[in-house]
Structure 1
Amino acid sequence: MAAAAHQEWQLSAEQRDDTVARVAQNLASLTFFAGGSVPDSEALRLATEFEKKAYTVARVEARTTTGTRPHAETFAAYTRKLASLLLEASKARSAANGAADASGGVLQPAAAPADASQVDLTGVREFLVAETAQEALASMLAEGAAVSRIKLSTKSFGAEAAGVAADAIANCAASLTHADLSDVIAGRPEAEALDALRILSNALAQARLKVLDLSDNALGEKGVRACAAALSNQAGLERLAFQNVGCSIAACRAIAELLTDASSLAALHLHNNMSDNEGAAAIAGVLARAPALQDFRMTSSRVGPEGGIALAQGLSAGRRLVRLDLSGNTMTADAAPGLAQALRGQQGLRALYLNDAGLGDEGVAAIAEALAEGSIELEELELAFNDLTEDGAASLAAALWRRVLPALQELDLCQNQIRRAGALAVAKAVAAAKGLRLLALDENEISDAGVDHLKAVLKAAGQLGTLGSLEDNDADAADEAEGEEDEEDDDGEAADTADAEESDLAAELARATKIA
């Protein structure tokens, strides 16, 4: 990952971007299994900030008074800084969410006993053998050990090391409630990896788990079935994750088959898989058996319209959703009516993420209407990259004005085409939201004049500080588009199209308030 031997240490833009993505995913996972939550947009923002800081530290440490340090040492400094920032943020976010949960916030997982101990092997990647596994898990193997939480990530277990870990787990089975087995078979041949998973899962079957994370393991259907004992014998399982595991259609069907009791399931996370519509339908079967579900994530999993409709039907079986994330699946407007119907019954919904879902104006309008009709007081709403235009922004603004506004804290509409009129309508609708922290409107073809107008509206409402970056907004494209519309004006006069659209949207908002 470093440059040539005599050159100054550096990483390519692609390597840095990949690091940011991994850090964001790890932050979300760490926070999730510490009993908190972090929105994807916030995780990405923090990951970008952390990577910049770590890269600066590494570049500084790369230089010495006599030349440059070995690249391995510099890279180690880079990863140490990243790990430090990541852990600090995870602890801070989890503590904040814990405080919110105690006061009736988003999701309150079962609290660990005050004297609970934890074993966390996260750190330098290492292939464990029996001897090194005994050293790493010594506290669990000790007589009278009462470990409640384990995280074995970044340590690769073969069959022998897994046998030691199984003994450690069995020794703490009476107290163990949280098991993070993400990224524990890296680099192992398939047969050995499957054996290790089977050994670990058989041991976990003896515990009464509340949390199980199997993310970042190349599972596929074979891997999922290797974990059968841990999945089939956990009646009290509350939180389960299969992120980045190669969760194919067959693997999703295996999960649905093996997870025989989902009655206690409060959180189910799947991300970056290849589940497709049929896999989503299988997962929908799990949702239909999970009436207590509060937090569902199935992102970047190749789910189309049919899969989106199936998931919506599954989600309708419960009424306790607090957080829903289906981003990165091209479900299109065809899935919107089903999703809208599922949302109407979720009075406690506080966070909805539908980025890059291909909803378009029609789909966003259906979702917005459902939120308004259900009087759902969202705190976070993300609809970035959905081919949304001024018309869709009008529908959304009306919904925000009517019902959703009071609790709104974050609204992300980046990478659409809502332009000046749509941006102003939305800004005016949310300007009175006292708890608003972020209004993200970048990459929306807003002209420079539109940006100035937008800032003026928010400034007048005392909300200018909530406006996110507009650095990537293509003002030139906006000016060109507005010019083309002026040329097509039926009267043949140079009308200010943006202002006309803004007036139409204002009228829409006025009608909405009368309806409300």
Structure 2
Amino acid sequence: MTLTALDLTGGKVGDDGAQLLGDALKRNTALTTLNLCSNEIGLVGAQYLGDALHHNMTLTSLNLRHNQIGDAGAESIGIALHHITILTTLDLSYNEFGDVGAQSLGNALRHSRTLTTLYLKGNHIADAGAQSLGDGLRCNKTLTALDLMNNQIGDAGAQSLGDALGHNRTLTALNLEDNQIRDAGTQFLGDGLQYNITLTCLYLLNNQIGAVGAQSLSNALRHNSTLTFLSLSNNQIGPLGVQFLGARLPQNTALTSLDLSNNKIGDAGAQSLGHALQHNRTVTILILSENQIGDVGAQFLGDALQHNRTLATLNLSDNQIRDGGAQSLGDALRHNTALTALDLSDNRIRDGGAQSLGDSLQHNTTLTTLDLSNNQIGDDGVQSLGDTLTALDFSIDGIGDAAAQSLNNALQHNKTSTTVNLSNAQFGDVAAQSWGYILQHNNTFTDLDLSKNEIGDVGAQSLGDALQYNATLISIDLSNNQIGYVGAQSLGNGLQRNRILTRLDLSNNQIGAVGGQSVGNALRYNATLTSLHLSNNQIGDIGVQALVYGLQHNATLTDLYLSKNHIRAFGAQSLSDQLRRNTVLSHLHLSDNHIGDTGAQSFGNALQHNTTLIALDLSNNEIGHVGAQSLGHGLLQNTTLVILYLEKNQIGDVGAQSLGDALQYNRTLIELDLSNNEIGHVGARSLGVGLIQNTTLTRLYLNDNHIGDVGAQSLSNALQHNRAITVLYLNNNQIGAVGAQSLGDALQHNRTLIDLGLSDNEIGHVGAQSLSDGLIQNTTLTILGFSNNQIGDVGAQSLANALQYNTTLITLFLSTNEITDVGAQYLADALQHNRTLATLYLEANEIGDVGAQYFPNGRVDKLILKDDEMGDDTMHALLELL
């Protein structure tokens, strides 16, 4: 692998660092992109880089934006450009140089044979510098883009650039934004445009161009046949200047985008543009924001839209358009077949104007984007606009009950929307009632998200009534509302008759046991629901019993979520009894309840008979060794369960022994999570014995237990024989150096493990050496988590030695390990020989500036050191890299 791109943005590289980079560039034959933006390079550093460019034959892009090279530095770069035969893009923006530096760059343009893009924005270039650049452009045969934004170019400088445009045959984009060009300078630019045959984009925004300057540009538009984009935003063109431009637009056949925002054109200017648009056949984007256009001007533009067949985007934001102007534009939309985006934000449109637009849009077939934000539209206006929507997403907008109800009423007859997201819209029962009415009549909505609102029982009742009649909705999300048992009863009644809904989410409400009974009763009759989310609803054992009764007659539900519901042993027994007979349910989530050993015993018995359950989550359920024993017995007979989560229980060694015994014979379980379960070395030994015989388990999580070095030895022995495990997490288990030695031995023989987590285990440098020995021989491990193990520099040295030989490890976590600059050097040297490691985590160690210098020595495709605390000393490390 060879470095082709180097990004050192914000690296505090100064002149000394630039010198080192320059020396490296003279010898380098691969680097094509060098980004030195936002550093501390001055004129001396620029001289070194300029000298390097004389000799380098590969660099095509150099970014020196936001440094301090000054005039002398720009001169050095300019001299280098005389001889460069490969560089195509150069960015010297914001570098504190003025006319002297620009003069050197202008001279360089006369001779450059490769440069296509030159950024010089944010400097102090005035008329003299612009004159030099203009002289260079007259002779240049390669430059296509020149950015002179935010300089001090006035009329004299514009004259030179305008003269250059008359002769140059390559430039396509010229940015003169935010300079000091007035009418006289604009006249020279206009004269140049009349003869230019290549320029397509001209930026003149934020100058001091008035009506006379606009007249000069309009004359140019009469003859120019290449300019497609013209920005005159934030000038003083006024209505007279727009009249000049408008008079030429009908004859122009090239311009497609025109930005005249913030020019005080008023209604008179809008009138001129309106007349022009009736005849123009090329302009597709017109920006007229901040122009004091009122209803009269909007009327002229509306009249134009009825005849125009090309304008696709019209921006009229931040004007003074009221209902009358909106009506004129609305009338135009009835007939217009081209406009796709209309921005009317920040005007004074009320309900009447919104109604006019809404009525018109029912006849329009092309407009896809309409922005009416920050007007004075109320409920009636929102209602009028509803029928025009093709997709609705008000998430996080907080539209409230009143506006939501109006919008809902409008959507009643909508025939295009299928997915509606009103999550966190801050509405309650009133809006939900409206939605209930909509769903009874609408036959297009398939997905409705009303989560995170304030819907209570009244709103839920309306939605439940709607479900009895709706024939299209397949998913409804009502999670995180305020629905109680009364609302749940209504929803349950709706489910009994509904024949289409497949997913219902009622998580994080307050339906309680009575609500659970209602939903359970609905399951007896419903024949379509496949996924039911009822987590965090205080359902309790009584509610669960009712759900179970429903499941006895249900033949479709596959996923049931009941986490955080105060379910105890009795509820668990009810569910378990159902699992003995159920032939549909595949995923059951019961985490964060209180089923205890008795409940776990019930599930263990059920697993012996169930033939459909794939995933069972019993995390954080106060299960001890007795419950784990029962689950183990169940796994001995079960032939379908693939995932079992038992995290955050108290199964201990005895429980782990039972599960280990089960693993010897079970042939279906793929993932087992036993993290945080008070398992010690005895339990680990039992699990290890099980793994020796097991041929299916691929992921085992034992984080936050107490297996120690003896337990690690048992698992290591298993790894030498097991041919299935691919992921093993043993984080925070007091494994120590002895346990690490056993795992290192296992890695030498194991041929399946790809992800091993050993962080927070007090392994130290001796244990790191043992693991390193294993890595040298291992041919499968790709991820090793080894953070917070106090391995220090000696341990880093051992791992570095392993990296020189290992050919599979891709990601290595070594954070918080007391590694200093010495250890960093070992690791960096190892990367010289390693061809696979892609990610190395070294946060929170004791590596300083010296240590950071070593890492570029590794072979990488792309090195990014953005925003690192990197000074000139660090640049020494780049010499070998480049």
**TM-score normalized by structure 1?**
0.60
SS class of match (1:352): strand
Among 567, 581, 590, the alignment partner of 1:247 is 567
SS class of match (2:604): helix
Hey, what does 1:400 align to over in structure 2?
719
- Residue range with higher mean Cα deviation, 344-353 or 382-391: 344-353
Q: AA paired with 2:783?
A: T
Aligned pair 1:261/2:589, yes or no?
A: no
SS class of match (1:467): strand
Q: AA paired with 1:401?
A: Q
Aligned pair 1:126/2:457, yes or no?
A: no
Hey, what does 1:446 align to over in structure 2?
763
Are the equivalent residues in 1 in contact too, given 2:561–2:588 (CA < 8 A)? yes
SS class of match (1:157): coil
Among 776, 785, 788, the alignment partner of 1:468 is 785
How many residues end up aligned between the 2 structures? 352
How many Å separate the matches in 2 of 1:397 and 1:259?
37
Hey, what does 1:494 align to over in structure 2?
none
Hey, what does 2:510 align to over in structure 1?
185
Which 5+ residue runs of structure 1 have no aligned equivalent? Answer: 1-78, 82-114, 187-192, 480-516
Aligned-pair RMSD on alpha carbons? Answer: 3.5
How many Å separate the matches in 2 of 1:161 and 1:449?
63
1:455 CA drift (Å) = 5.3
How many Å separate the matches in 1 of 2:497 and 2:459?
18
1:396 CA drift (Å) = 0.9
Are the equivalent residues in 1 in contact too, given 2:620–2:649 (CA < 8 A)? yes
Are the equivalent residues in 1 in contact too, given 2:461–2:490 (CA < 8 A)? yes
Aligned positions of 1:99-498 closer than 5 A: 117-122=446-451, 124-131=452-459, 134=462, 140=467, 143=470, 145-172=471-498, 174-185=499-510, 193-208=512-527, 209-257=529-577, 261-376=581-696, 378-405=697-724, 408=726, 410-430=727-747, 438-451=755-768, 454=771, 457-458=774-775, 461=778, 466-468=783-785, 470-471=787-788, 473=789
1:389-442 deviation per Cα after TM superposition (whole angstroms, max 9, x unaligned): 22221221121121235x51x221011111123224324534777775532111
1:159 CA drift (Å) = 4.5
Are the equivalent residues in 2 in contact too, given 1:293–1:318 (CA < 8 A)? no
Alignment CA distance shift 1:241-1:342 (3 Å): farther
How many Å separate the matches in 1 of 2:759 and 2:672?
19
How many Å separate the matches in 2 of 1:425 and 1:116?
60
Alignment CA distance shift 1:167-1:118 (3 Å): farther
Are the equivalent residues in 2 in contact too, given 1:262–1:286 (CA < 8 A)? no
SS class of match (1:147): coil
Q: AA paired with 2:507?
A: S
1:311 CA drift (Å) = 1.7
Q: AA paired with 2:501?
A: L
Alignment CA distance shift 1:165-1:230 (3 Å): same
Alignment CA distance shift 1:452-1:297 (3 Å): same
How many Å separate the matches in 2 of 1:260 and 1:290?
5
Between the aligned residues of both structures, percent identity stands at 26
Are the equivalent residues in 1 in contact too, given 2:619–2:646 (CA < 8 A)? yes
How many Å separate the matches in 2 of 1:308 and 1:384?
18
Aligned positions of 1:47-62 closer than 5 A: none
How many Å separate the matches in 1 of 2:562 and 2:790?
38
Q: AA paired with 1:287?
A: L
1:318 CA drift (Å) = 1.4
Are the equivalent residues in 1 in contact too, given 2:540–2:566 (CA < 8 A)? yes
Alignment CA distance shift 1:365-1:125 (3 Å): farther
Are the equivalent residues in 1 in contact too, given 2:572–2:603 (CA < 8 A)? yes
How many Å separate the matches in 1 of 2:645 and 2:775?
28
Q: AA paired with 1:185?
A: Q
How many Å separate the matches in 1 of 2:609 and 2:646?
19
Alignment CA distance shift 1:432-1:183 (3 Å): farther
1:302 CA drift (Å) = 1.0
1:382 CA drift (Å) = 0.8
Q: AA paired with 2:523?
A: L
How many Å separate the matches in 2 of 1:125 and 1:131?
11
How many Å separate the matches in 1 of 2:505 and 2:485?
18
Are the equivalent residues in 2 in contact too, given 1:312–1:338 (CA < 8 A)? yes
How many Å separate the matches in 1 of 2:526 and 2:750?
46
Are the equivalent residues in 1 in contact too, given 2:765–2:790 (CA < 8 A)? no
How many Å separate the matches in 2 of 1:159 and 1:276?
27
How many Å separate the matches in 1 of 2:639 and 2:588?
15
Hey, what does 2:108 align to over in structure 1?
none
Q: AA paired with 1:444?
A: N
How many Å separate the matches in 1 of 2:525 and 2:565?
24
Are the equivalent residues in 1 in contact too, given 2:513–2:544 (CA < 8 A)? no
SS class of match (2:644): strand
Alignment CA distance shift 1:219-1:437 (3 Å): same
1:48-81 deviation per Cα after TM superposition (whole angstroms, max 9, x unaligned): xxxxxxxxxxxxxxxxxxxxxxxxxxxxxxx979
How many Å separate the matches in 2 of 1:308 and 1:320?
18
Are the equivalent residues in 2 in contact too, given 1:269–1:298 (CA < 8 A)? yes
Aligned positions of 1:28-107 closer than 5 A: none
Q: AA paired with 2:683?
A: G
How many Å separate the matches in 1 of 2:738 and 2:639?
36
How many Å separate the matches in 2 of 1:132 and 1:215?
17
How many Å separate the matches in 2 of 1:291 and 1:297?
17
1:222-251 deviation per Cα after TM superposition (whole angstroms, max 9, x unaligned): 332343543332245433332121121232
Alignment CA distance shift 1:154-1:427 (3 Å): farther
1:146-169 deviation per Cα after TM superposition (whole angstroms, max 9, x unaligned): 434444321232344334423542
1:434-457 deviation per Cα after TM superposition (whole angstroms, max 9, x unaligned): 775532111211114534664575
**TM-score normalized by structure 2?**
0.36
How many Å separate the matches in 2 of 1:212 and 1:289?
24
Q: AA paired with 2:731?
A: C
Alignment CA distance shift 1:125-1:400 (3 Å): farther
1:30-64 deviation per Cα after TM superposition (whole angstroms, max 9, x unaligned): xxxxxxxxxxxxxxxxxxxxxxxxxxxxxxxxxxx
How many Å separate the matches in 2 of 1:264 and 1:431?
44
Are the equivalent residues in 1 in contact too, given 2:731–2:758 (CA < 8 A)? yes
Alignment CA distance shift 1:206-1:335 (3 Å): same
- Residue range with higher mean Cα deviation, 270-279 or 421-430: 421-430
How many Å separate the matches in 2 of 1:464 and 1:317?
33
1:388 CA drift (Å) = 0.9
1:177 CA drift (Å) = 3.8
How many Å separate the matches in 1 of 2:774 and 2:519?
58
How many Å separate the matches in 1 of 2:570 and 2:626?
17
How many Å separate the matches in 1 of 2:699 and 2:514?
42
Are the equivalent residues in 1 in contact too, given 2:467–2:495 (CA < 8 A)? yes
Alignment CA distance shift 1:315-1:197 (3 Å): same
